[in-house]
Chains A and B, each alone.
Chain A
Amino acid sequence: MNLHPLFRKTLVIFLWLLIWEAISQTVGNSILLVGPINVMYTLAAQIPTADFWKTIFGSLGKISLGFCLAFLSGIFLGILAFRFSFLKELLAPLVSLMKSVPVASFVILALIWIGSKQLSVFISFMVVFPIIYLNTLAGLRSTDPALLEMSQVFRIPFFRKIRFLYLPSLMPYLISGCQVALGMSWKSGVAAEVIGTPAYSIGKQLYLSKTWLDTGNLFCWTLVIILVSSAFERLVLFLLKHIPQGTPYKEEKT
């Protein structure tokens, strides 16, 4: 069958939704498994309410703030650590610790230190920072040493060297690091909210779903997480991929 790829994809999703609905009808218990139609009804009922949007923007704001802070400081410290090996050695145990300590331990500690309000900012930061920092270091290290020697002989100025020699090597590492870090920041951020239950957070909604055994609400908010995190991921990757990687002439024209 020669169908348009988009149509085929839609058909596959529709088929799975049908299977899901059929299983939920067979089970016949909305606590055990709720069907897609029920989830859509729950979602449709929430969309017009102000609390729904406050909750989404509450989580989005905090998780993306944590991500952005980790992204900027990861790049900044990665560049400094690349330049000064002392700093790299100094940060190594800290980064290693951030990578290996379970998120749940951080969450409990952060609850004691900073309370639940800014918890997801902190956790998102802790998860994203080591990924961006290590990818920045690896990207800078991958710059062709032969080209760097050439730049040394021709005395290419520092900023031109950063722009045209280091940045093209760094970008693929940074994009790949972000692809991992974006998903991780949402998973860990929402998990932290579930434990800390700050007001107007998606994590709190998931926690309430558990308390009231409201599977419809749980599925509804899970769907929201998937949609919002995917939109955020696409936006960040779009921006990263469109950082002008110009050539010396294009640069001059702009």
Chain B
Amino acid sequence: MKSSSLRRNVLLLSLPLVLAAVLLVIVGSGGIVTAGHEDMPPHGIVCTENASPDGKSAIFSLSTMTGTISLPDGNRVYMWGFSAGGDPFQHPSPTLCVTEGMTVTIVVNNTLDHDVSLIFPGQEDVLANGVPSTPVVDAGTGELISLAPVATANGGSMTYSFVASQPGTYLYESGTEPGIQVNMGLFGALVVRPLAGPNFAYNEVVVSGTVTYTTEFMPDEEFLLIFSEIDPMLHMAVEQGLPYDMNNYTSRYWNINGRSFPDTIAPNGAEWLPDQPYGSLIHINPFNDDPAAGDAYHPHPALIRYLSVGTENYPHHPHGNHGRIIARDGNVLIDGAGQDLSYERFTITLGPGQTTDEMFAWTDVEGWHPTENPIPVTIPQLQNLTFGTFYSGSPYLGATDLLPVGHQALNACGEYYHISHNHALQQITAWGVVLSGHITFTRIDPPLPNDCP
């Protein structure tokens, strides 16, 4: 059994944390319910939450940090980031989760020697220190300084607030020197949950005849993937305080949740990636909407929230099945008359600064079984094939079989793996390392009950 999502953990932890938050608020420090890495579920979304006891508001204190991240070619790249409360540097910045209707307050404390700001694409009527957040223009030169009021360098702060009026998946990112600062890591995700419930992406439904389609997903199968890219020359220039000309911008690394494959499939909070806590493995069970299936009953798809902070369109291709795109940029694909505008794709275009919500499921349509329904072709003997690290040795879900002596096998219980990757294949590399970059995997466990770790 895989662990429950953090959201559930947060519920379990909520009483002491809420108490702590309340105590902190009482002493005026501003409390953040922040998941320590040891509390993270191995896979799936990791939420940072801090709702007020009455559920009407949430407050987050984000401090700028500097640090480095590890990349598969052995390079370490200097980064900036936001961390919640007193947390150490992390990349990407924390995923903030709130509920529809909450008043969200984000206090930015800036320790960098550059001015920093935040913009919240998709949020309306954002306030900065209580007045509408608007672009900042130099009064003397007329030069556009920032897309939002800044927390000034070396100790300034700025408080942004808005009402999270519409459920969905959103970005928050720097509005100051954004070409440089977003590449440096000043970005994160904001998830607004609907009033319909924590296992729904949106409130709306599509009614077609006797069938009602909702956006409900399996509670343990919510994933969030932020696609980004890095020009290491930009980072070196910033680290050394040198100027950088954006006309020379050339991406060399392509990351999901701040990691490049194979690090992407390491668990959340993996100890060998101390500053890159968010994994990207899509860990699901087979879809099965037959209530008579017992433990194998698995009647909803997974929800995958895709976000891109890159500079070009990424064509993301999950193997194994199509995904159904149910929303873009926090806007559910249902029109005002209740008509379904959602669609299935085998390759999803993630535009710069866009978010896309996808329902994803895999169904065992053929039901192959070693004795009752064998695959109708013969698999060659071991010496006549090459074997992948994730292969179980058997074509059958839930079965394992012999692999060549000395083969490095990571398959645990006959589970299936499908790659999920950017199909601009020059971007599944890491500055000379191939099979890296924008790759993660979907892991499909055998139907429950199983003994998968």
* A, B from the same assembly: no
